[in-house]
Amino acid sequence: MNTLKVGDKAPNFEAFDEQGNTIKLTDYTGKKLVVFFYPKANTPTCTVEACNLRDEYAELKEKGYEILGVSADSQRKQSNFKKKFNFPYPLLADVNKEVIDAFGVWGEKKFMGRVFDGIHRVTFVIDENGVISKVIDKVKAKEHASQILEKD
């Protein structure tokens, strides 16, 4: 796994959101962007993480952050996930793993004694110039918004 690091230029991605809209990095030029990668929609930890960002969305917006969630789920699954939990931000349906690969969050994982390839739960904060200013690779699902807002 070759994950992007602080100081790297964010990859100029393009993907469909849960409604079929094309979302590009350039849509966020001049804004602070949080891109959080999660393994699978509607699973317990992913739901807790995404709901924490929903619950703290007003504060994140107030501090100038835009948010994008990304997983390899289909548009239909992302749409159902968003509707079920009323998320105020887009969820990218990166079925072909182009964005996932560009950020380097696909790789070997271990769970319950099993080894497999999958999406690592990693969040990137991208500054107004498209440079990665923070990487959170030890995401605490219940406190994720505070991790984004805390200063290093």
pLDDT at 151: 74
Non-local (6+) Cβ contacts of 103 within 8 A are 3, 4, 11, 35, 37, 122, 124
Say how far apart CA 52 and CA 56 lie, in whole Å. 6
Whole-model pTM? 0.94
Q: What is the per-residue DSSP string for 12-52? A: --EEEBTTS-EEEGGGGTTSEEEEEE-S-TTSHHHHHHHHH
Say how far apart CA 92 and CA 27 lie, in whole Å. 14
Which tens digit of pLDDT belongs to each residue from 116-136?
A: 899 999 999 999 999 999 999
Q: Which residue among the candidates 33, 46, 105, 119 is catalytic per the annotation?
A: 46
Give the CA-trace dihedral at 57, 32, 142, 106, to 10 degrees.
130
Which tens digit of pLDDT belongs to each residue from 84-95?
A: 999 999 999 999
Asked about 51 being catalytic, the answer comes back as no
Which tens digit of pLDDT belongs to each residue from 67-107?
A: 999 999 999 999 999 999 999 999 999 999 999 999 999 99
